[in-house]
Amino acid sequence: MRTHELRAEIEELYYDYAASLDELELERWPEFFLEDCWYKIISRENYERSLPLATMWCESKGMLKDRVVTIRQTQMFAPRTMRHVVSNTRIKSDGREGIQSEANYVVIQTMVDEESKIFNAGRYLDTLVRENGQLKFKSRICVYDTIMIPNSLIYPI
Amino acid sequence: MNNAVDIHTNGATRHWPSQGLTRIPYWVYQDPAIYELEQQRIFCGPGWSYVGFEAEIPNPGDFRRTHVGDKPVVVARHRDGSINVLVNRCAHRGVQFCRANFGNTNAFTCPYHQWTYDLKGNLTGVPFRRGVLGHGGMPSDFVPGEHNLHSLKVTTRNGVIFASFEHGMPSFEEYLGPKMLAYFDRVFDGRELSVLGYMRQRIPSNWKLMFENIKDPYHATLLHVFLVTFGLFRADQPSAVKMDASGRHGVLVSSKGEQKAGAGTAEMKAFRADFKLNDARLLDPVREFPGTETVAMLTLWPNLIVQQQSNTLATRQLVTRGPHAFDLIWTFFGYADDSPEMTRRRLRQANLMGPAGLVSIDDSEVMQLSQQGVVQDQNDCGVVELDGSSVGDADHMVTEAPVRAFYSYYREVMGL
């Protein structure tokens, strides 16, 4: 029963996280993380070969906020909408260091004048920690299969 | 190489605009006949194409798969230590036999009929060559040595590998010329390289727009709000553009300044003097190269950009995918003797670059918009008149001379 409740809580977190990106409520996005956190979007080829380079690399909540400010204020890009589909949630462990959980994701991108296309597919590797009763990301690593990115990766995944 | 040709597409003969190098006709970005001629004369012609680092294939049997132009090739290290660049196409029926980007093997075996090649491309095995139970097989005068893989001419300098379909190439050093070679050696100084990882993106624009972008300091001072805001690249900072004697290679160098309003920001609508990072570690560059320059972007004909912006180092390899797209393969690197702090700094600063780069997103997006614009009228042309019609070096950023120099050489090679 407890696992059942935990799963429901994690999935709620995942869906709310996805909604913040899909609805472009980007200022909400860093609030899903602890102050001291990791967020990376890394290609599967780098991840599997133990190469450290990530396509997006944030090592604090401050860097997440900086990413949001640059998207809002300094970057030039064509308008688009993103849609996240998150599934196959698996709780790997629940210990002193936090909860290790994983999920699959697909991000569909829709550009002006174009049909909707799968933009990025991969999996989330998460470490979750409870802060003031709320589950937060200690780290979220997005390992993407789509190693040839269709032009630009503007928004977080 | 200089023999002028008429290129006929849909009955049209191509003529460069009469204004010369201050105009770029839009058909160069989209005509399939031009693209085919580029493959023959540029990528399969007399140029040294970047194909990777020695550090990516350190051991005998190591290989990496890549491209020269749009031709798939395999870069392999033979057990005698030699580096071989082989066309990834079986001599039997044309199968692209290698599909893994990296690996280690004793031999390449085509999956279709198991023709087998050694790592120098020699055909070493043909199944049922003598027939089966006295039936069939290859004719008795079949000579395996006449059916090796096509191999390219290979050269290396300080750990970087280049290849050419043209076997009578001048040395790499002669090809770059002394000025460009000095900038190449500035980053590739002989220290052992350490690959940090890859980024790959498919950009829906003609490949030449990528070179134009890096050879165009004008845009960098206007489009890249992030660079300008943080003083990483601004029109009022000491900077220069330099070319080799032919115009085909170039470098754009500049020195970092402060985040303050000035002559370089007055005409930049989006400059933000009040923008402060929440986490300043994103930009904590340390000086590591000789001289005062903090950025050097080297463009080497026909397929390579060498990026040094602060402490983020990468090669950007162009792989053409028809007139309307190219793949940009970023190999980020440091040196084997880097401290853990320096490696971390390089990885952090990589946020500026690549398909999600705080700076380079502007470029990949604008190249797509360029392609969407130029395809609408191939008889129109772009205006490249900043700093007149010069094709020489300049000690400022308000110039399009490197773009004109590039097309000067391009027209010579293409006979246009």
Give the position of tokens 């909604």: A19
Domain contains A153: no
Instruction: Report the pLDDT value the prediction gives residue B275, as an integer from 0 to 100.
Output: 80
Q: How confident is the model at residue B7 (pLDDT cuts 50, 70, 90)?
A: low
| Rounded average pLDDT over A104-113 | 96
Domain contains A41: yes
Instruction: Report the pLDDT value the prediction gives residue B76, as an integer from 0 to 100.
Output: 98
Residues 156-195 of B with CB under 8 A from A: 195
| Rounded average pLDDT over B259-265 | 72
Q: How confident is the model at residue B1 (pLDDT cuts 50, 70, 90)?
A: very low
Give the position of tokens 């990530």: A54
Strands B8-9 and B116-117: unpaired
Please state which of the ranges A103-107, B215-219, B323-327 shows the lowest mean pLDDT. Answer: B215-219
CA distance B71 to B303: 13
Record: contact A78-B277, CB cut-off 8 A: no
A79 to chain B, any CB pair closer than 8 A? The answer is no
On whether the CB atoms of residues A74 and B272 are closer than 8 A, the answer is yes
- Nearest-CA neighbor of B46 among B209, B163, B211? B163
On whether the CB atoms of residues B204 and B363 are closer than 8 A, the answer is no
Cα separation values, B91 from B43, B72, B145, Å: 21, 14, 11
| Rounded average pLDDT over A58-69 | 96
Please state which of the ranges B11-25, B121-135, B179-193, B260-274 shows the lowest mean pLDDT. Answer: B260-274
| Average pLDDT score over chain B | 93
CA distance B390 to B408: 11
ipTM: 0.96
Q: How confident is the model at residue B8 (pLDDT cuts 50, 70, 90)?
A: low
Give A114-157 as a 3 state SS string: CCCEEEEEEEEEEEEEEECCEEEEEEEEEEECCCEEECCCCCCC
Residue A153: which of B197, B203, B355 has the nearest Cβ? B355
Give the SS3 label for residue B219: helix
Q: What is the pLDDT of residues B220-245, one digit of tens each?
A: 888 888 888 887 877 788 899 999 99
Domain contains A138: yes
Domain contains A154: no
Q: What is the pLDDT of residues B93-116, one digit of tens each?
A: 999 999 999 999 999 999 999 999
Residue B196: which of A52, A58, A152 has the nearest Cβ? A52
CA distance B267 to B223: 12
Record: contact A148-B200, CB cut-off 8 A: yes
- Nearest-CA neighbor of B409 among B214, B208, B219, B155? B208
B355 to chain A, any CB pair closer than 8 A? The answer is yes
Q: How confident is the model at residue B13 (pLDDT cuts 50, 70, 90)?
A: confident
Give B134-192 as a 3 state SS string: CECCCCCCCCHHHHCCCEEEEEEECCEEEEECCCCCCCHHHHHHHHHHHHHHHHCCCCC
The nearest alpha carbon in chain A to B352 belongs to A56
For the four alpha carbons of B3, B9, B12 and B17, in that order, the dihedral sign comes to: negative
Q: DSSP labels for B341-352? A: HHHHHHHHHGGG
Which chain A residues are Cβ-neighbours of B356 within 8 angstroms?
41, 55-56, 152-154
Domain contains A16: yes
How many distinct structural domains can be found in chain A?
A: 1
**B273 or A43: whose pLDDT is higher?**
A43
User: Domain range spanning residue A16?
Assistant: 3-144
Write down the H helix ranges in B298-358: 340-349
Residues 105-124 of A with CB under 8 A from B: none
CB atoms under 10 Å from CB of A72, counted, come to: 11
Record: contact B277-A66, CB cut-off 8 A: yes
pLDDT of B274 above 90: no
**How big is the A-B interface in CB pairs under 8 Å?**
125
Domain contains A117: yes
**Burial (CB count within 10 angstroms: exposed 0-12, middle 13-18, buried 19+), residue B258:** exposed
Domain contains A120: yes
As a whole-number percent, the residues of chain B with pLDDT over 90 amount to 84
Instruction: Report the pLDDT value the prediction gives residue B11, as an integer from 0 to 100.
Output: 53
Give the SS3 label for residue B108: strand
> Which of the 8 DSSP states describes residue B243?
E
Distance from CA of A49 to the nearest CA of B (A): 9
B309-344 burial code (b ≥16 CB/10 A, e <16)? bbbbbbbbbbbbeebbbbbbbbbbbbbeebeeeebe
CA distance B115 to B113: 6
Q: How far is CA B23 from the centre of its chain?
A: 24
Domain with residue A56: its CATH number is 3.10.450.50
